[in-house]
Amino acid sequence: MTESIEQVHQRRVRYKGAYPKNYHEKYKELQPEKYADELEKIKAKGKTPAGTHIPIMVTEILEFLQIKPGTQGLDATLGYGGHTAKMLACLQDKGHLLAIDVDSAELPKTENRLRALGYGEDILTIKQSNFSEIGALAAEYGKFDFILADLGVSSMQIDNPERGFSFKFDGPLDLRLNQSSGMTASERLFELDEEDIAEMLINNSDEPYAAQIAKAIAKMQAGGAPIATTTQLKYIIANALSFLPPQEKQEAVKKSCQRTFQALRIDINSEYEVLEAFLEQLPNVLNDNGRAAILTFHSGEDRLVKKTFKRCYREGAFSQIANEIVRPTKEECYQNPRAHSTKMRWAIK
């Protein structure tokens, strides 16, 4: 008698409609190792697959850094590891790259991907650290011949609703780059008064409707409860701008949401303070003729990098700096719309 063997059939994740819309239902995108072909199709449409990140301005970065085998570098913002992998390839198994990031959730995932590519501790060291600590890192590992800092929030952080980085998805109003420490955006917002909120919106994102949005937030929080979710904050901003003509309101609300979330993210992660500390130490951690490239994504970051680079050049700390910003090509912006606001500045020791 022959025994019948039943094959277990794994059903796909259930979702409404022809395509998944919820982040956790995008099982193909969230398993890039199994569905590489599907991811390439999504990228070909000018979209970033959920849970992944497309590195920006790779060609321009590598052309400037001029990475040679046997040199030592620092990727100050590891993220998904796209830039890191390209820089490691330039080393040709000779030299060393230190890669750091503050994101305790994404760091182990990225390390697993890079180790799977064959990069061991002999050529790649990965460490959870803030790039404001580059002075201590240089003291431990030695000075660097090349440094890259990509200041943008990674796509896998933006797309995950549990991180709270985007008003497009409902989730907790968190916005921390490192979810293992510090207060959430919800907690931080609740401790600010109307004047403080308006000042934060102006200083961190040049929000033109800062006064109206701050008043609406303060009024909502006066009831004694914090704004807990991204959707709540989005609706408060929309109501604050209800005085605008209907033909202007939709776009204005979208842009004000973007700026408000940006301002909150900058505030709770102390991004300007961290960047300033990084820039002040940068000349001292580079070897002679060492090169540093920084990608910025909004005017506040770019102003700070530009101002510091110019001062360091005048003081003789840098031999050369970028006179003009370097931007991604039109082709790259078409293929990856998230590259559109990128500006690259560089300096040579």
Q: Does residue 105 surpass a pLDDT of 70?
A: yes
For residues 297 and 97, give the distance between their C-alpha atoms in angstroms, rounded to a whole number: 24
Supply the CATH number for residue 263's domain.
1.10.150
Q: What is the DSSP letter of 125?
A: E
Q: Within this chain, do residues 143 and 187 fall inside the same structural domain, yes or no?
A: no
For residue 189, the model assigns a pLDDT of 95
Where on the phi/psi map is residue 54: left (φ > 0), alpha (ψ -120 to 50), or beta?
A: beta
Average pLDDT, the chain: 87
Tokens 């198994």 belong to which residue? 93
For residue 325, the model assigns a pLDDT of 93
Domain assignment present for residue 5? The answer is no
Structure tokens at 48: 């970033």
Contacts (Cβ under 8 Å, ≥6 apart) of 221: 189, 190, 227
pLDDT higher for 170 or 319?
Answer: 319
Please, how many CA atoms are within 13 Å of residue 144, restricted to the half-sphere of its CB? 28
Domain assignment present for residue 102? The answer is yes
Domain assignment present for residue 308? The answer is yes
Range of the domain at 237: 179-268
**How do residues 166-175 score in pLDDT, each as one tens digit?**
888 889 999 9
Nearest to residue 52, comparing CAs of 78, 13, 79? 79
For residues 103 and 107, give the distance between their C-alpha atoms in angstroms, rounded to a whole number: 6
For residue 24, the model assigns a pLDDT of 46
Q: Within this chain, do residues 292 and 262 fall inside the same structural domain, yes or no?
A: no
Q: Within this chain, do residues 260 and 290 fall inside the same structural domain, yes or no?
A: no
Structure tokens at 259: 């700026």
Whole-structure pTM value: 0.81
Q: Is 112 in contact with 87 (CB distance < 8 Å)?
A: no
For residue 37, the model assigns a pLDDT of 58
Q: Within this chain, do residues 86 and 228 fall inside the same structural domain, yes or no?
A: no
Over range 243-255, report the average pLDDT.
93
**How do residues 327-337 score in pLDDT, each as one tens digit?**
999 998 888 88
Give 8's pLDDT tier (boundaries 50, 70, 90).
very low
**How do residues 199-211 score in pLDDT, each as one tens digit?**
999 999 999 999 9
For residues 44 and 127, give the distance between their C-alpha atoms in angstroms, rounded to a whole number: 33
Supply the CATH number for residue 314's domain.
3.40.50.150
What's the structural domain count of the chain? 2
Q: Specify the range with the lowest mean pLDDT, choosing from 30-39, 112-121, 191-200, 266-275.
A: 30-39
Q: Is 134 in contact with 192 (CB distance < 8 Å)?
A: no
Q: Within this chain, do residues 149 and 288 fall inside the same structural domain, yes or no?
A: yes
Q: Within this chain, do residues 62 and 142 fall inside the same structural domain, yes or no?
A: yes
**How do residues 64-97 score in pLDDT, each as one tens digit?**
999 999 999 999 999 889 999 999 999 999 999 9
Q: Is 257 in contact with 237 (CB distance < 8 Å)?
A: yes
User: How much of the chain, in percent, has pLDDT values that exceed 70?
Assistant: 85
**How do residues 191-200 score in pLDDT, each as one tens digit?**
999 999 999 9
Domain assignment present for residue 135? The answer is yes
Q: Does residue 125 surpass a pLDDT of 50?
A: yes
For residues 46 and 337, give the distance between their C-alpha atoms in angstroms, rounded to a whole number: 7
Q: Within this chain, do residues 150 and 295 fall inside the same structural domain, yes or no?
A: yes
Query: What is residue 38's three-state secondary structure?
Result: helix
Nearest to residue 131, comparing CAs of 292, 319, 307, 17? 292
Contacts (Cβ under 8 Å, ≥6 apart) of 237: 167, 213, 216, 253, 256, 257, 260
Domain assignment present for residue 45? The answer is no
For residue 5, the model assigns a pLDDT of 39
Q: Within this chain, do residues 183 and 198 fall inside the same structural domain, yes or no?
A: yes
Give 1's pLDDT tier (boundaries 50, 70, 90).
very low
Q: Does residue 153 surpass a pLDDT of 70?
A: yes
For residue 16, the model assigns a pLDDT of 60
Residue 342's identity, in one-letter code, is T
DSSP string, 204-255: HH--TTHHHHHHHHHHHHTTS----BHHHHHHHHHHHTTTS-HHHHHHHHHH
| β-strand partners of 292 | 147, 347
